[in-house]
């Protein structure tokens, strides 16, 4: 029996030694440091596939985010070029959001690894060489929609010729032009100067056109988005991970309409306070009831996808209640409820009818200083204030063809007609 025990012990020792040696070789293999004396070829780590996508990313929306998500799926690292203000002005007219705000927006998208500011509007030989050499880009990505420069040439002809071009599918149902149309219609409705029938005729053609419910009255709000998300799209945008044990869950809510740099920065501040950021997004009826029939500009599901695409957000409540109740706090194990100083209403400061009365009474409510003084109203006011500049751009550039993906398209015929007819309204 003794010799059998010795045999078993010896076998265990041999297995253990072999495992240790194997583990050591595996460690060296993964590090690419296997000794050449063993007759083995040194292992080299696979170079990550780096892909590049550019755009103006003005009035950034979930369509832009979905394009970036698709681009990231074609490689291991996504580098994004954001076109400069000067280039946009020269080619398309003044942007609604300046470069530093557009940079904040793009950097906040969860699928973006690196951002290049002041990217050129058209990819030249020189810039393409810089992409390949300095940024180690393997492929240049763009959507499947036509991309033509003012001189009629393909904006990505050089990348295609070099065999370094890949294409993604355009996100249907949304565009910057459509969003601007909705905002201008909002202004028109508030002015109450004309019926919406002529607008309905003007926006009745083209995939960029706002849709209207038949028979809808202006007072009731005439812009109805027909965007319908699928469960697959929501999953694609979601993190898929819940809070860990003992996580400090921060809750912030709002409309998050026309998702902008101000939203991004307050979400970043909120996320820094804890381990998990839960964002409540109010439904369309709640927003309309609090801010007027012309709001929101983007519907609940559009707003939800924009927020979900933000890297600082861990989870969202789609259609969150206006008042933060004890049940909500308990159900989601909320550690702290926060609100920014910049807001469309001052309800969070009121003594009566305060939606945060419960978290205040529990001592878990905190007001955060908003890093940027930007609101949804700010974006709408910029459209109105820049109207004359847009008109000048349209009159001087109406015969050109423009890049349509990731850009604020002023050359769209619907917007041309709209701006011309309603120049005295706004």
Residue-wise pLDDT tens digits, 96-108: 999 999 999 999 9
Same domain, 286 and 340: yes
3-state secondary structure of 83: strand
Same domain, 369 and 397: no
* Domain presence at residue 173: yes
Same domain, 361 and 396: no
Contact call for residues 415 and 179 (beta carbons, < 8 A): no
Domain range holding 314?
A: 231-374
Share of the chain above pLDDT 90, in %: 51
Mean pLDDT, to the nearest integer, of 244-259? 96
Show which of 333, 354, 374 is a domain's final residue. Answer: 374
Work out the mean pLDDT of the chain and round it to a whole number: 78
* Domain presence at residue 37: no
Same domain, 289 and 417: no
Same domain, 346 and 396: no
3-state secondary structure of 259: coil
Show which of 332, 351, 374 is a domain's final residue. Answer: 374
388: Cβ contacts below 8 Å, ≥ 6 apart: none
Beta-bridged to residue 52, according to DSSP, are 79, 140
Same domain, 145 and 244: no
Same domain, 351 and 255: yes
* Domain presence at residue 357: yes
The two structure tokens encoding residue 267? 């979400």
Torsion, Cα 16 21 24 28, to 10 degrees, reads -160
pLDDT band at residue 348 under the 50/70/90 scheme: confident
Mean pLDDT, to the nearest integer, of 353-374? 96
CA-wise closest residue to 359 among 319, 332, 329:
329
* Domain presence at residue 216: no
Same domain, 347 and 390: no
* Dist. CA 360–CA 209, nearest whole Å: 44
Q: Residue 330 maps to which CATH number?
A: 3.40.50.620
Same domain, 67 and 178: yes
Per the confidence metrics, is the pTM higher than 0.85? no
* Domain presence at residue 418: yes
* Dist. CA 204–CA 196, nearest whole Å: 12
**What pLDDT does 137 receive?**
98
In this structure, the number of other CB atoms found within 10 A of the CB of residue 360 comes to: 15
Same domain, 320 and 351: yes
pLDDT of 56 > 90? The answer is: yes
Same domain, 366 and 237: yes
Residue-wise pLDDT tens digits, 282-319: 999 999 999 888 889 999 999 999 999 999 999 999 99
* Domain presence at residue 410: yes
Q: How many domains does the chain have?
A: 2
Residue-wise pLDDT tens digits, 183-203: 777 666 555 544 343 333 333
Residue-wise pLDDT tens digits, 261-284: 999 999 999 999 999 999 999 999
Higher model confidence: residue 3 or residue 76? 76
* Domain presence at residue 284: yes
pLDDT of 425 > 90? The answer is: no
Contact call for residues 65 and 377 (beta carbons, < 8 A): no
408: Cβ contacts below 8 Å, ≥ 6 apart: 56, 58, 59, 88, 92, 93, 95, 96, 176, 177, 180
DSSP character for 61? -
pLDDT of 353 > 60? The answer is: yes
**What pLDDT does 91 receive?**
81
In this structure, the number of other CB atoms found within 10 A of the CB of residue 275 comes to: 14
**What pLDDT does 170 receive?**
85
**What pLDDT does 20 receive?**
54
Same domain, 141 and 264: no
* Domain presence at residue 142: yes
pLDDT of 240 > 90? The answer is: no
Alpha carbon 239 to its chain centroid, in Å, reads 14
* Dist. CA 64–CA 106, nearest whole Å: 9
* Dist. CA 129–CA 136, nearest whole Å: 10
* Dist. CA 175–CA 399, nearest whole Å: 21
């Amino acid at each position: 029996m003794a010799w059998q025990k010795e045999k078993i012990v010896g076998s265990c020792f041999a297995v253990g030694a072999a495992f240790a040696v194997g583990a050591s070789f595996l460690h060296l293999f993964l590090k690419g440091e296997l000794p050449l004396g063993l007759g083995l070829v040194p292992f080299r780590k696979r170079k990550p596939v780096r892909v590049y996508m550019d755009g103006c990313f003005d009035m950034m929306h979930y369509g832009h985010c979905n394009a970036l998500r698709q681009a990231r799926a074609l490689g291991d690292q996504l580098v994004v070029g954001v076109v400069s203000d000067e280039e946009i002005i020269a080619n398309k007219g003044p942007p609604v959001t300046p470069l530093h705000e557009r940079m904040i927006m793009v950097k906040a998208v969860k699928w973006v690894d690196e951002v290049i500011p002041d990217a050129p509007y058209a990819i030249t030989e020189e810039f393409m060489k810089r992409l390949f050499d300095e940024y180690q880009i393997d492929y240049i990505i763009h959507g499947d929609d036509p991309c033509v420069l003012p001189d009629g040439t393909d904006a990505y002809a050089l990348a295609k010729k070099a065999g370094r071009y890949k294409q993604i599918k355009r996100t249907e149902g949304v565009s910057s032009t459509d969003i601007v149309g909705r905002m201008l219609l909002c202004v028109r409705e508030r002015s109450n100067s004309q019926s919406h029938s002529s607008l309905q005729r003007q926006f009745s053609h083209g995939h960029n056109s706002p849709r209207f419910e038949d028979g809808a009255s202006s007072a009731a709000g005439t812009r109805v988005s027909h965007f319908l998300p699928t469960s697959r799209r929501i999953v694609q945008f979601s993190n898929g991970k819940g809070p860990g044990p003992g996580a400090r869950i921060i809750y912030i809510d709002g409309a998050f309409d026309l998702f902008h740099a101000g939203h991004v920065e307050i979400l970043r501040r909120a996320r820094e306070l804890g381990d998990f950021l839960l964002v409540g997004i109010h439904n369309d009826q709640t927003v309309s009831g609090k801010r007027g029939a012309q709001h929101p500009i983007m519907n609940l599901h559009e707003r939800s996808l924009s927020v979900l695409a933000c890297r600082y957000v861990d989870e969202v409540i789609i259609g969150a209640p206006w008042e933060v109740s004890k049940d909500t706090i308990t159900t989601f194990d909320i550690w702290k409820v926060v609100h920014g100083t910049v807001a469309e209403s001052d309800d969070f400061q009121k003594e009566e009818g305060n939606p945060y009365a419960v978290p205040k009474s529990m001592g878990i409510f905190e007001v955060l200083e908003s890093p940027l003084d930007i609101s949804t109203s700010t974006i709408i006011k910029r459209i109105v204030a820049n109207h004359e500049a847009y008109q000048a751009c349209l009159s001087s550039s109406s015969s050109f063809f423009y890049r349509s993906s990731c850009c604020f398209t002023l050359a769209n015929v619907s917007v041309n007609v709209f701006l011309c007819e309603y120049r005295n309204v706004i």
